[in-house]
Structure 1
Amino acid sequence: MKAYANRAHPLWLAYIIHRLSGLALALFLPAHFWVMAMTLTNPARFDAFAEITRLNLLKVAEFGLVFLLAVHMFGGLRLMAMEWLPWNGPQKTLAAAAAALSFFIATLFFMQAI
């Protein structure tokens, strides 16, 4: 039971979200580079492919992508702060603030996209 005691800690969730967002971004980037390469190799195919960006489902997916980027960035800043700054108690508050700020940034992007 001792091995699972850390999972009850609120920062364990921040740890998992940071790792999962990094994994999701790592999986997304090759697809993104492939699509961007189409602009150079086959612009007509890219234009046809870009038409799907008008779908609402894709706009929601873009919201998720921006959220993942923001969560990963703020999670990384949180980790750097934990390593370099002498903090102890307010880390839970900072982790929650980073998640809220990530959601806010993604929502602003989403509002511009629709």
Structure 2
Amino acid sequence: MDLRPRAHPTYLAFVVHRVSGLLLALFLPLHFWALGSAISGEARLDGFLRWTENPLVKAAETGLVVLLAAHLAGGLRVMALEFLGWRKRQKDMVAISAGLALLVGLLFLLNVV
């Protein structure tokens, strides 16, 4: 079995795009639960907001922003492939999209955004 194509950076970009989409979909029930607590009453929402001050939750929130940025960058890369066709600089597109995703996460972590 030839695994060389799987070592290509575009395959890694494909995997990151799919995995980030899956993890974002798994996050949605928690997001809806948080929104439901806002509807249920002020005390319940305040309790939830206090819980979000936990450093572990803050780290997970930063990870979520990186997942969103990675999924967006991967989606834009796929759209570029659809509309522009295959380019010789695919590795550069992968590197740029990964860098942008990490930059967005770092900016969020530093509370710049």
- Give the TM-score band, short-chain normalised: over 0.9
Match in the other structure for 1:27: 26
> How far apart in 1 are the matches of 2:4 and 2:107?
37
Q: Secondary structure at the match of 1:51?
A: helix
Shift of 1:38: 1.0
Deviates more, 1:64-73 or 1:54-63: 54-63
- Cα shift readout 1:10-65 (whole Å, capped 9, x = no counterpart): 11100000000000000001110111111112321121121022121111111100
Q: Comparing both structures, which one devotes a greater share of its residues to helix?
A: 1
Structure 2 partner of 1:52: 51
Distance in 1, Cα, partners of 2:16 & 2:43: 38
TM-score by length of 1: 0.91
Bigger Cα displacement from structure 2, 47-56 vs 63-72: 47-56
Q: CA–CA distance in 1 between the matches of 2:59 and 2:14?
A: 24
Long gaps (5+) in structure 1 = none
Name structure 2 gaps, 5 residues minimum.
none
Contact 2:37 2:48 in 1 (8 A): no
How do 1:69-108 and structure 2 match up within 5 A? 69-108=68-107
Partner in structure 1 of residue 110 of structure 2:
111
TM-fit CA distance, 1:87: 3.8
Alpha-carbon separation, structure 2, partners of 1:98 and 1:51: 34
- Quick check: 97-106 or 48-57, which moved more? 48-57
- SS at 2:103 equivalent: helix
Task: Give how far 1:5 is off.
Answer: 3.0
- Structure 1 SS opposite 2:110: helix
Code of the residue aligned with 2:48 in structure 1: it is F
Task: Tell me the matched-pair count.
Answer: 112
Moved over 4 A (4+): none
Contact 2:62 2:105 in 1 (8 A): yes
Identical pairs, percent: 47
**Cα distance in 2 between the residues matched to 1:35 and 1:105:** 24
Alpha carbon RMSD of aligned pairs, Å?
1.3
